[in-house]
């Protein structure tokens, strides 16, 4: 059982993570003159540097590197973590590209759908059974996505890709026994050489060859990447999945608000109807999980 103090820390950590993720479109827009592929490469490199520095400051260097070296001796584990690194890299690229291409609403849609993708993945890979409420939630979300696809004339590939890549990444993180510090450090370590080679030999611009303001944004990419992921890992250990699910919707809701009111993206009645189906799905999903959790608690007490 978690103490109330630990629970409060978990809630605050989760809110912090999703607040940062929710306003990240504003951050990436400050570097919209830099190609998305280059932003991604800098994000990987500076995330790794930030992790090395922060674990040194916190006195976790020996602990984290011992864990990482032990993982390199286990081929199956390193393969799983490498796949996770590729998935989160793909997720970051799609998100940056979508935001800087002027589709913040599409980005928010991806993270609204993500919890429902998690349910499907749990059903397929973890053999967990869907409750009636969860089946209804998935159906409602599917209708919303279908309406958007018909309305836009194209399948919302960016939103679905973001949801699927983050969902698969979360599934691997759930199955692979590694700490939050070690996990993020090794993931960025795996991708950093590729990012560095890309920036040196294939990028349009020379390494950090931008104005001071843009260089500062690119350098800060490591901080804004690592901090919410570490906060998320902290919250996941301290609060229930249901509570984390409630807080999760802070992020995409902020993105949607930014897309409509700050970046003035089109949001017509048909899109609203589609989002209503998705919001209904989230409501059904959350209520269903609350009821199931409540029944399990009663059963355990009886």
pLDDT tens digits along 41-70: 999 999 999 999 999 998 999 999 999 888
Contact 110, 259 (CB under 8 A): no
Q: Domain coordinates of the chain in residue numbers?
A: 4-301
Identify which of 109-123, 128-142, 210-224 has the greatest average pLDDT. Answer: 210-224
- Mean pLDDT over residues 73-94, rounded? 92
pLDDT band at 2 (very low <50, low <70, confident <90, very high): low
Query: What average pLDDT does the segment 185-206 reach?
Result: 91
Instruction: Indicate if the pLDDT at residue 289 is higher than 90.
Output: no
Nearest to 145 by CA among 98, 105, 120, 109: 109
Q: Mean pLDDT in the chain?
A: 86
Return the top range by mean pLDDT from 117-126, 177-186, 243-252: 177-186
Which has more confidence, 246 or 258? 258
Structure tokens at 297: 């608690």
Q: What angle separates helix 241-248 from helix 104-125, to the nearest 10 degrees?
A: 160
Q: How far apart are CA 211 and CA 282, in angstroms?
A: 43
> pLDDT per residue over 258-284, tens digit each?
999 999 998 899 989 988 998 898 888
Would you say residue 3 has pLDDT above 80?
Answer: no
299: confidence class by pLDDT, cuts 50, 70, 90: confident
Report how far residue 51's alpha carbon sits from residue 44's, in angstroms, rounded to the nearest whole number. 11
Question: End-to-end CA distance of the chain, in Å?
Answer: 18
Retrieve residue 139's tokens: 């159906």
pLDDT of residue 297: 73
Q: What are the distances in angstroms from CA 79 to CA 91, 189, 228? A: 18, 14, 25
Does the pTM of the predicted model rise above 0.75?
A: yes
DSSP for the chain reads ---HHHHHHHHHHHHHHHHHHHHHHHHHHTTTTS-HHHHHHHHHHHHHHHHHHHHHHTT-HHHHHHHHHHHTT-HHHHHHHHHHHHHHHHHHHHHHHHHHTT-HHHHHHHHHHHHHHHHHHHHHHS-PPPPHHHHHHHHHHHHHHHHHHHHHSS--HHHHHHHHHHHHHHHHHHHS---HHHHHHHHHHHHHHHHHHHHHHT-SS-TT-S-HHHHHHHHHHHHHHHHHHHHHHHHHTTS-HHHHHHHHTHHHHHHHHIIIIIS-----HHHHHHHHHHHHHHHHHHHHHHHHHHHHHHHHH-
Model pLDDT, residue 245: 67
What's the whole-number mean pLDDT along residues 77-86?
A: 93
Which tens digits make up the pLDDT trace of 162-187?
999 988 988 888 788 888 788 889 99
Lowest mean pLDDT across 95-104, 195-204, 225-234: 225-234
Residue in 143, 87, 103, 142 with CA at minimum distance from that of residue 255: 103
Decide which of 62 and 149 is more confident: 62
């Amino acid at each position: 059982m978690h103490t109330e103090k630990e629970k409060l820390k978990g809630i605050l950590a989760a809110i912090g993570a999703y607040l940062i993720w929710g306003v990240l479109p504003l951050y990436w827009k400050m570097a919209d003159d830099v190609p998305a592929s280059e932003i991604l490469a800098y994000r990987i490199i500076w995330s790794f540097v930030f992790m090395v520095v922060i674990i040194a400051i916190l006195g976790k260097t020996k602990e984290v590197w011992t864990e990482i070296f032990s993982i390199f001796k286990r081929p199956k584990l390193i393969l799983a973590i490498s796949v996770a690194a590729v998935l989160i890299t793909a997720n970051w690229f799609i998100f940056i590209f979508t935001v800087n291409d002027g589709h913040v609403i599409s980005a928010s849609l991806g993270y609204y759908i993500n919890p429902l993708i998690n349910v499907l993945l749990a059903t397929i890979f973890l053999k967990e059974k869907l409750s009636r409420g969860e089946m209804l939630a998935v159906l409602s979300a599917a209708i919303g996505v279908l309406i958007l696809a018909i309305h836009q004339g194209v399948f919302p590939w960016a939103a679905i890709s973001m949801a699927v890549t983050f969902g698969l990444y979360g599934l691997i993180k759930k199955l692979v026994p590694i700490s939050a510090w070690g996990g993020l450090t090794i993931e960025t370590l795996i991708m950093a050489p590729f990012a560095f080679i890309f920036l040196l030999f294939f990028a349009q611009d020379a390494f950090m060859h931008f104005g001071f303001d843009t260089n500062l944004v690119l350098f800060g990419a490591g901080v804004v990447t690592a901090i919410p992921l570490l906060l998320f890992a902290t919250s996941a250990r301290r609060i229930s999945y249901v509570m984390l699910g409630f807080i999760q919707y802070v992020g995409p809701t902020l993105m949607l608000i930014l897309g409509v009111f700050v970046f003035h993206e089109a949001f017509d009645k048909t899109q609203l109807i589609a989002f209503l189906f998705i919001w209904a799905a989230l409501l059904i999903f959350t209520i269903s999980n609350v009821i199931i959790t409540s029944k399990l608690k009663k059963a355990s007490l009886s």
